[in-house]
Structure 1
Amino acid sequence: MTPQAIVFDMDGVLTDTEVIWDEVRRGLAADEGRAWPEEATTAMMGMSTPEWSRYLVETVGLSGSPELVANRTIDAMAERYLVHLPTLPGAVEAVRRLAGRWTLGLASSSPRRLIDSSLAALGLTDSFAVTVSTEEVERGKPAPDGYLRACELLGVDPAASVAIEDSSNGLRAAAAARMKVIAVPRPEFPPAEDALALADVVVEHLDEVTVELVAGLV
């Protein structure tokens, strides 16, 4: 047996953008004099655009509709990406290494606009057979919808496929989709212990995600 496909998360796995998301959202709150709830950063990881924009309005207290807040946030993210899109060590090499053996998909909480621009900047657009934004499914992570949709588009069985994730909500989503899960936790935003326990393998760096490691998971 060997995995039928590999599905990557993007933010926090390929791109080191979780910090940028946090800085942009905190900046919007600070501009309006709103206090930043202690749990807000972790809570929004993996949420779809409608979910996190509603959270920013209803919980953080930003002014305007969720749609307007989403547009302000995404515009600010796009501006930051134009200046510099930080890539995690070994990300491009890991994608190309695994793409040489398996079909790849991507299930991201980023909006379509940022997925496409990020993969283009990394030179990885053609490495992924399908990409799914949580804007394009009913529920964001920790619901499994994005991973299930990616597997559906790839024509593979989720239980015979592998997900690569970093965050609590992402790990929960991949596990809920019944996929084999490789965790690459980020030290800045460590996943909860119960979420990390859902992973089949935990590695510190993408360099450890070898063909041999992945092949042994299914």
Structure 2
Amino acid sequence: MPLQAIVFDLDGVLIDSEPVWEDVRRAYVADLGGRWLPDTQERLMGMSTDEWAEYIASDLVEGVSAEDVAYEVIDRMSQRYAEHLPVLPGAREAVRRMAEIRRLGLASSSPRALIDIVLGRLGVESLFPATVSTEEVDRGKPAPDGYLMVAAQLGVPAEDCVAIEDSSNGLRSAHAAGMRVIAIPRPAHPPAPDALALAAHVADGLDDLTAEVVHKVAK
């Protein structure tokens, strides 16, 4: 494949945000007297804003709308990021290293407001000519919509992109879009074996994301 672009996920790849998301949403559900189910966190990973807000409003708590859920949770997340941004080791360096190779895109399940906050605080927003939140497409991950939109914004075929992902739904999403995928699994939320098998390469961390690895995957 002719490598034309590299597309990052955000949560779990550049920032260790899944524990923050879980903490914030658990607290929100508890504050409203709701119930947190054993598979809730796994189900929420990769959902778009509309999808997870609707799930919480309909399955976990009573008496609130999906719009209320989304507004309150995103506001709490913004406050947490203002206090501390959980940047993963080597995140800034990996983005800058990849930007020297090809154009970059980002396909994230985070809402637009949080994407902009994170990229701005990382100081890498200018390195991403195309960013998509799954709230801006019809379906969240594992559907390929977000990755397909990023490729369209970049003006390149999805099959000429390499994606960087960590989660089961993210790996499935990028693969379904036709991209080659490099997996960087998070030990706290390891991807399912069948999802990990979709990856063309599994890296131990962002420091392992090198030009050599990306070009090898793209062959």
> What TM-score bracket applies, with the shorter chain setting the length?
over 0.9
Indicate the residue corresponding to 2:121 in structure 1.
121
Write the distance in 2 (CA, Å) between the matches of 1:87 and 1:193: 26
Tell me if 1:173 matches 2:173: yes
Write the distance in 2 (CA, Å) between the matches of 1:94 and 1:13: 10
Return the letter of the residue paired with 1:188.
A
Contact kept, 8 Å, 1:3 with 1:217, in 2: the verdict is no
Indicate the residue corresponding to 2:58 in structure 1.
58
Write the distance in 1 (CA, Å) between the matches of 2:52 and 2:209: 30
Indicate the residue corresponding to 1:111 in structure 2.
111
Contact kept, 8 Å, 1:62 with 1:69, in 2: the verdict is no
Contact kept, 8 Å, 1:29 with 1:62, in 2: the verdict is no
Return the letter of the residue paired with 1:96.
R
Tell me if 1:94 matches 2:98: no
**Structure 1 position 62, deviation (Å):** 4.5
Write the distance in 2 (CA, Å) between the matches of 1:2 and 1:98: 16
* Structure 1 residues 65-118: Cα deviation after superposition (integer angstroms, max 9, x where no partner): 001100000000000000000100111100000101100000001111000011
**Structure 1 position 3, deviation (Å):** 1.2
Indicate the residue corresponding to 2:5 in structure 1.
5
Write the distance in 1 (CA, Å) between the matches of 2:209 and 2:139: 28
Which segments of 5 or more consecutive residues in structure 1 lack a partner in the other structure? none
* Structure 1 residues 119-149: Cα deviation after superposition (integer angstroms, max 9, x where no partner): 0000000111110011111110000000000
Equivalent residue pairs, number:
218
Write the distance in 1 (CA, Å) between the matches of 2:74 and 2:196: 29
Indicate the residue corresponding to 2:208 in structure 1.
208
Tell me if 1:185 matches 2:154: no
Identity of paired residues, percent?
56
Return the letter of the residue paired with 1:119.
L
* Structure 1 residues 159-213: Cα deviation after superposition (integer angstroms, max 9, x where no partner): 1110000111101100100100000111111111111111111111011110010
Write the distance in 2 (CA, Å) between the matches of 1:62 and 1:200: 43
**Structure 1 position 33, deviation (Å):** 2.5
Q: Which moved more, 1:14-23 or 1:61-70?
A: 61-70
How high is the TM-score relative to the length of structure 2? 0.97
Indicate the residue corresponding to 1:36 in structure 2.
36
Write the distance in 2 (CA, Å) between the matches of 1:17 and 1:158: 26
| Secondary structure of 2:217's aligned partner | coil
Contact kept, 8 Å, 2:33 with 2:61, in 1: the verdict is no
Please give the root-mean-square deviation of Cα atoms over the aligned residues, in Å.
Answer: 0.9
